[in-house]
Amino acid sequence: MTTRDDGGVRDTPYLVVDEHQLESNLAAMASHAATLGVALRPHAKTHKTPEIAARQLAHGAVGLTVATVGEAEVFADAGVDDIFIAYPLWAVGLRAARLRGLAGRVRLRVGADSVDGVRMLAAAVHAGSDSAPPLAIAVEVDSGHHRSGISPERAAEVAATALEAGLLVDGVFTFPGHSYGSGAATPAAGDEAAALATARDALVAAGIPCPVVSGGSTPSARAADGGVLTELRPGVYLFGDAQQWELGTIEPATIALTARATVVSRRENVAIVDAGSKILGADRAAYASGYGRLLDHPDARITALSEHHATITFSADAIVPPLGTVLRVVPNHVCNAVNLVDDLIVEREGVEVAAWAVAARGANT
């Protein structure tokens, strides 16, 4: 329990956004993109929150990136009119109809990494009729993360198929997820630039204009030099998390989201708090030192995580917080933490001022 300024109380665990730090982080990335001369299209999967989307747009974002049709529907309902679903959708069934509906009311771009996928997208918006709402694609290429994405040399195959099928082609994109590793951001940003340049050149050589060259990831966004990129799609930057902290992408003082958790058990140099994987998420990357970090105890480590217990191990000479103490826990991967709650509690100068609905929580389809 923490006491609010209005005398109310709130049971732990819950997620808190520091509004001042959030604004600072939004401004910093907007400034970075402006300095590079690229458009900023933040990935809204991180926050899933219309209030935050509005703030990103107010800071100059050209539109949003999302991962699913469901996320796009939530943000379209909230008034966002330019959305990129950066995912190679397989557009059949209900999803096809939902996509056609979206394309009719926002400026919509969808990812594609196969000729067959593009044909499904075209069939979805046409739905057997000659008139179709405009739908743009961007060709996803693999820049070294080896997830989805066609090889950059083959990007024109997908783009040409899209044009033949009556779709628009915005350009090319990649997600350099291999930027998540110790010392990996700069090489990954180099891989990203090289892959995107190859893909762009392949389109141009095929006579297909390529106005959009879009890169992603919070680590690589910082390392990007702007060169080939026309657009950045970072997600985590607005909150930060323990992964970014441990990767060295951010300073812990800039972290804008923490879980508030109560010490419920303790022994020797260990405290157990009531935030587990059902509010922090269970992510633990190979490079992570534990299952999250303590904002006010940087030397402590979360050495085990259950659904409702985090086991915090303090150094031998540390004073372990007493039972009932409320601690600030930084999730390893903030995107998965946010997706576990219905509301983000917003504090200004330590005082609760709002609760923002995570309107796209669970929007997996």
* Contact residue for a second copy among 19, 23, 60, 95 (CB under 8 A): 95
CB 151 within 8 A of CB 142: yes
Which of the ranges 55-63, 85-93, 101-109, 224-232 carries the binding residues for a second copy, by CB under 8 A? 85-93
Which residue stretch of 53-61, 199-207, 241-249, 303-311 sits at the interface with a second copy (rule: CB under 8 A)?
303-311
Contact 176, 220 (CB under 8 A): yes
Q: Which position among 208, 274, 290, 345 is part of the footprint of a second copy (CB under 8 A)?
A: 274
Judged by beta carbon, residue 87 or residue 245, the one nearer a second copy is 87
Among 10, 101, 123, 197, binds a second copy (CB under 8 A): 10
Indicate whether 76 belongs to the interface with a second copy (CB under 8 A).
no
DSSP conformation class of 134:
-
Pick from 33, 136, 238, 340 the residue near a second copy by CB under 8 A.
Answer: 340
Q: Does 339 contact a second copy by CB under 8 A?
A: yes
| 16 SS3 class | strand
Structure token pair of residue 103:
């394309």
Say how far apart CA 284 and CA 64 lie, in whole Å: 27
- Interface pick for a second copy out of 333, 345, 346, 359 (rule CB under 8 A): 333
**Cα–Cα distance for residue pair 54/64, rounded to 1 Å:** 10
Q: How far is the CB of 229 from a second copy (least distance, A)?
A: 21
**Residues 70, 364 contacting (CB under 8 angstroms):** yes
Which residue has 């991967």 as its token pair?
Answer: 333
Residue from the set 19, 23, 36, 90 that interacts with a second copy by CB under 8 A: 90
Burial class (CB in 10 A: 0-12, 13-18, 19+), 349: exposed
Check if the beta carbon of residue 232 is closer than 8 Å to that of residue 39: yes
The single residue listed with the structure tokens 């039972």 is 323
Is residue 319 involved in binding a second copy (CB under 8 A)?
A: no
State which amino acid sits at residue 25.
N
Binding a second copy (rule: CB under 8 A), the pick from 6, 7, 9, 319 is 9
Terminal Cα distance for the chain, rounded = 35
Q: Which amino acid is at 82?
A: D
The number of angstroms, rounded, from the C-alpha of 232 to the middle of its chain's C-alpha atoms is 12
Q: Which of 6, 35, 37, 93 binds a second copy (CB under 8 A)?
A: 93
Q: Is 272 in the site for a second copy (CB under 8 A)?
A: yes
User: Least distance in Å: CB of 316 to a second copy?
Assistant: 16
Binding site for a second copy (CB under 8 A): 1, 3, 9-14, 45, 67-69, 87-90, 92-95, 98, 113-114, 116-117, 120, 146-149, 177, 262-266, 270, 272, 274, 277-279, 281-284, 304, 306-309, 311, 323-324, 333, 335-336, 339-342, 362, 364-365
